[in-house]
Structure 1
Amino acid sequence: MDARLRDLLPELVAIRHDLHAHPEIGREEFRTAALVAERLRGWGLEVTERVGGLGVVATLRGARPGQRAIGLRADMDALYIEEATGLPYASANAGLMHACGHDGHTTMLLGAARLLAERPDFGGTVHFIFQPAEEGRGGARAMLDDGLFERFPVDAVYGMHNMPDLPLGRFAIRPGPFMAAGDRWTVTFRGSGGHGGAAPHLSTDVTVLLAQYILALQTIVSRHVAPVDTAVVSVGALQGGSLGATNVMPAEVTLGGTNRTYRPEVRDLIENRMRELAAGLAALAGATAEVRYDRRGPPLVNHAEPTASAVAAATAVVGAEAVDPDAPPVTAGEDFAHMLTARPGAFIFLGNAAGRATSSGLHTPTYDFNDDAIPYGVGYWLALVAKEMGGG
């Protein structure tokens, strides 16, 4: 299908630019989901909308006999980031942008769906899964709760994400733990507050307590997690007092952050230790502590056989020298992990090294998906279907 893909590429690039110019936050991807469904129907696929909210699933049955079924998943949502690329197709929606490349992910899966619909030379069924709300808004869990794999049964499910620090034309994957569980938390300390100049000795100074807690957090990984285990505890937000009244000691301060782990035991240890430190330090200071801990996605764990299929498919596209089958794990989180707890599957990284001066890292105001990666992503999906279900 190389020649057909080359012919189709300008149309796919136009779709990607259109999606980029009209980003939508998770659970609000109304235009994106409608565009995806309209295109898929126009290409002759069976389309089901509003799966788990705004999810779209398209089904294609092969022309050859076969009972195997697989799912191919792409995410559709954008982020609360103000775009600063200056591109002609930059975001038209203030405060929102496709800063993670989901516009590219959606486009590549659409391209694969179109080419396979034109030539369904495989045996079995392919379900193209377009997921909303990947960026921390529970889209995968919502689709699963809506009976995703009961309504669209699969023997394996596959996902893919672009990586700007991986050279264009390369793939990276590993069996086992590949991405981390991502948790979020807040801790609020409450005391009496008071006048910082006239009567600090009569006040419960929660700002000192806040500082002590931040320093104590740094001992969790260094002194409680085994050196062979990977874990991250990071503070990302602080709130307390007013710069308009700096002589006032606040009665309440809050900090929040994120944790990353791979093993359930380490995840439990960190949460428990955070709670113990907050309660203990607050008691010593005569204050109170409220800890809110939100466990987000589980670790993303690739299954052995689907990972081998993914490696074979990537190798068919770019050659063995451009595929890393034992890439180091990363501590970023990924909502697709929920799907891998429900069905066997594998998640792969696609090289998306910057193709223009304005492009940078994921989740930054100057990021832009590299259109040169589109043929590699489409090619990977096609090769994966051929590997899993025959044809070619």
Structure 2
Amino acid sequence: MTGLDSKLFEQIVSFRRELHAEPELSWHEYKTSDRIAAFLDQLGIPCKRGVAGTGIVANLPGKHDHLPYVALRADMDALPIQEETGLPFSSQVPGVMHACGHDGHTSMLLGAAALLAQEKDRPAPIRFLFQPAEETGKGAKKMIEDGALENVALIFGGHLDRHFPAGTVAVTDGPVNASTDQFHIKIHGQGGHAARPHEAIDSVVVGSLLVMALQTIVSREVNPAHPSVVTVGHFEAGTASNVIASSAQLDGSIRAQEQSVRESLHRSIERIARSIGELHNAVIDVTIDLGTPPLSNPPDTAELAREAVRNSLGEEALRKLEIANMGGEDFAYYMEQIPGCYVRFGSVLAGKEGFPAHSSRFDFDEQALNVGATYYHAVGLAAGRRLLAQGE
């Protein structure tokens, strides 16, 4: 495998461990940003700080600077989790942990920056995006608002994935992440004495019917070939055992891998809530908060990513997603603006297979850092060659 030499790999591993020991929550990645800027400065790559608050944008010129940029993105925030890995470089910040691999994402992109800085023939200019607050689902949108995609034609990103062995990259056409919307339903009934239900409108009964009815949306209204989820995660009502609740609150999550299904789920939730309210003479208010959109790879840019994997890591390194991933990823906001591809870096660590991302014991195989850096280097060049060919 080409990629980082032993000295640079050691640097990248050391950098990752430093980040891991001092994780920072979304919108507060100050020390992380300082470290990234210092590393880029050592590489001779100028950067703009303060993008989206703590984010960084760094530009590397290409041989043909009339071409638009190829962007490579890494997220850098941690999670409010108390670490229990027992690693010698465990988090030193109580209640905060890099439990989703963003320390790895940042480190592999810096490795790619080092490789690309050494590259004598960069067809198109490269832009490195170090993004805050992915865990909030809002960091990418703020980066875009602050101009991170100006004059960018293609964008590439990825995520560590324990479902694949280290040394592999999963590249998939079509859906790779789901939308992450939330719904909030307020039921207004009529309170009363438990002994005289005929004088009341029982919000618990109405809410219970609503919970069950919502479960029929995915099972009976959505094509089984299109993965989607409607989950009621919170149901609150009542104050005492002998009092009929006058109101109830339901909150939940909506997930879909396609925009048309996403919109259909919204309409179904509103329709069912309205109908049950009319059935029981209750007033029901529905609010849907939009989260990240679905993330889907266009076939042509996915093939470009596969080409980069084949050329740099070999055909045997290629994998694809075999099952639907219903997690969200705010990289989707970039892909709403410009084409690109989002991949998964195999990173399963022996003995840690049972600890998924967002677990207090999550860890990954650090060989994935070399794989990620190698891939980003290769795809940055491949994308530049495509832009050059299109320009000619």
* Aligned residues of 1:225 and 1:266 also touching (Cα < 8 A): yes
1:170 equivalent to 2:168? Answer yes
Distance, in Å, in 2 between the alignment partners of 1:73 and 1:360 is 25
**Counterpart in the other structure of 2:60:** 60
Alignment-mate amino acid for residue 225 of structure 2 = V
SS of the aligned residue for 2:5 comes to helix
Q: Which digits, 9 at most, give the CA deviation of each residue in 1:58-78, with x for residues without a partner?
A: 11124x456442100001112
Instruction: Say if 1:283 and 1:75 are closer, same or farther in 2 by CA, change over 3 A.
Output: same
Q: 1:371 aligns with which of 359, 366, 370?
A: 366
* Aligned residues of 2:204 and 2:238 also touching (Cα < 8 A): no
Q: Which digits, 9 at most, give the CA deviation of each residue in 1:186-217, with x for residues without a partner?
A: 21223233454x55554432122221111101
**Counterpart in the other structure of 1:17:** 17
* Aligned residues of 1:178 and 1:328 also touching (Cα < 8 A): no
**Counterpart in the other structure of 1:107:** 107
Instruction: Say if 1:283 and 1:94 are closer, same or farther in 2 by CA, change over 3 A.
Output: farther
Alignment-mate amino acid for residue 79 of structure 2 = L
Q: CA deviation at 1:86?
A: 2.6
SS of the aligned residue for 1:100 comes to coil
SS of the aligned residue for 2:165 comes to coil
**Counterpart in the other structure of 1:269:** 264
**Counterpart in the other structure of 2:225:** 228
Distance, in Å, in 1 between the alignment partners of 2:73 and 2:369 is 15
Q: Which digits, 9 at most, give the CA deviation of each residue in 1:300-330, with x for residues without a partner?
A: 1213332222111112233212203575542
* Aligned residues of 1:262 and 1:299 also touching (Cα < 8 A): yes
Instruction: Say if 1:195 and 1:99 are closer, same or farther in 2 by CA, change over 3 A.
Output: farther
Instruction: Say if 1:216 and 1:45 are closer, same or farther in 2 by CA, change over 3 A.
Output: same
Distance, in Å, in 2 between the alignment partners of 1:156 and 1:129 is 13
Q: CA deviation at 1:375?
A: 1.0
Q: Which digits, 9 at most, give the CA deviation of each residue in 1:330-364, with x for residues without a partner?
A: 22221111111111111111101124448711122
Matches within 5 A, 1:82-231: 82-150=82-150, 153-196=151-194, 198-231=195-228
How many pairs does the alignment contain? Answer: 384
Pick which of 359-368 and 155-164 moved more. Answer: 359-368
**TM-score, normalised via structure 1 length:** 0.90
**Counterpart in the other structure of 2:38:** 38
Q: Percent identity?
A: 37
Q: CA deviation at 1:372?
A: 2.3
**Counterpart in the other structure of 1:252:** 247
Pick which of 208-217 and 176-185 moved more. Answer: 176-185
Alignment-mate amino acid for residue 127 of structure 1 = R
Distance, in Å, in 2 between the alignment partners of 1:3 and 1:157 is 20
SS of the aligned residue for 2:180 comes to strand
* Aligned residues of 2:4 and 2:370 also touching (Cα < 8 A): no
Distance, in Å, in 2 between the alignment partners of 1:238 and 1:365 is 27
* Aligned residues of 1:177 and 1:300 also touching (Cα < 8 A): yes
Instruction: Say if 1:96 and 1:253 are closer, same or farther in 2 by CA, change over 3 A.
Output: farther
Q: CA deviation at 1:127?
A: 0.6
Alignment-mate amino acid for residue 112 of structure 1 = A
SS of the aligned residue for 2:142 comes to helix
* Aligned residues of 1:207 and 1:253 also touching (Cα < 8 A): yes
Distance, in Å, in 2 between the alignment partners of 1:136 and 1:338 is 13
**Counterpart in the other structure of 1:78:** 78
**Counterpart in the other structure of 1:347:** 342
**TM-score, normalised via structure 2 length:** 0.90
Segments of 5+ residues of structure 1 without an aligned counterpart are none
Pick which of 343-352 and 111-120 moved more. Answer: 111-120
